[in-house]
Structure formats: C-alpha cells, structure tokens
Amino acid sequence: VNNNASQYILKLSGTLWSPKMDFHPPFLMLMPVPLGVETESVITIIPQNFIRQSRITVKLPELELADGTRTCPFSVQFPEGQDIVLSSDGTANELTCYISFRSSKPMSFLGEMLFIDQEEN
C-alpha cells in the first residue's frame, strides 16, 4: 500500500449452510375414507438457509396396484404459490401445501413425497 512492498496476508473463513426445508407436521397420516372419496391434509413448509428465491416442486409416488396397474392417487396444491421468497431480513416465507388422496381401488401406502427446489436440493 502506498508503494510499500510489504506483503499482506488476508485470511478468510466462513460457513456454508445448505438450504433445507422443515415440515410441520413432520409426517403426514391421511385418514381412511370410502373408495372415491378425497381425504386432505395441510402441511407447512419452513425453508431455512436459502440465499435466493427458489421454486418448490413435488415428486409424487406412483403406486402399483395388485392387478399391476400404476396410479398416482395423490395431488398437491400450493394455494399461496410455490416460490420461496426472501424478506429484507434474509428469512424465507413459509409455504402452505395441501396434500390430498383419492382412489377408486383399495390401497394403503407408506412412503415418501419428495419436495425439491429448482437446483434439485
């Protein structure tokens, strides 16, 4: 600095936090209903450590029935949108998600629905 040939060492350190989503409730149990009747539940998605806006999508499981046919009896709706939006203080908005199930054939299911952001996290 100022034509001084001295060397300066600058050390930087930091922590990188991976984006994640918490769910409330942490698991979902839909009530048994008669065939052809829809059952629905609401979950809240709580995004954490997102540094930019992101869009959430859901990979729904496809189930195989006893007769070999495949079906996806689940549907998902985001009534207030699927975008994680950061506020001025760096926190992200919570998302409301409606998950519903309807089947014309008897079935039960224990498995996962995958909620991912646009970067496949």
Cα–Cα nearest to 35, from 100, 99, 106:
106
- When pLDDT is cut at 50, 70 and 90, the band that residue 80 belongs to is very high
Reply yes or no on whether the pLDDT at 95 is more than 60: yes
Q: Tell me how far apart the alpha carbons of residues 71 and 65 are, in angstroms, rounded to a whole number.
A: 8
Q: What is the pTM of this model?
A: 0.78
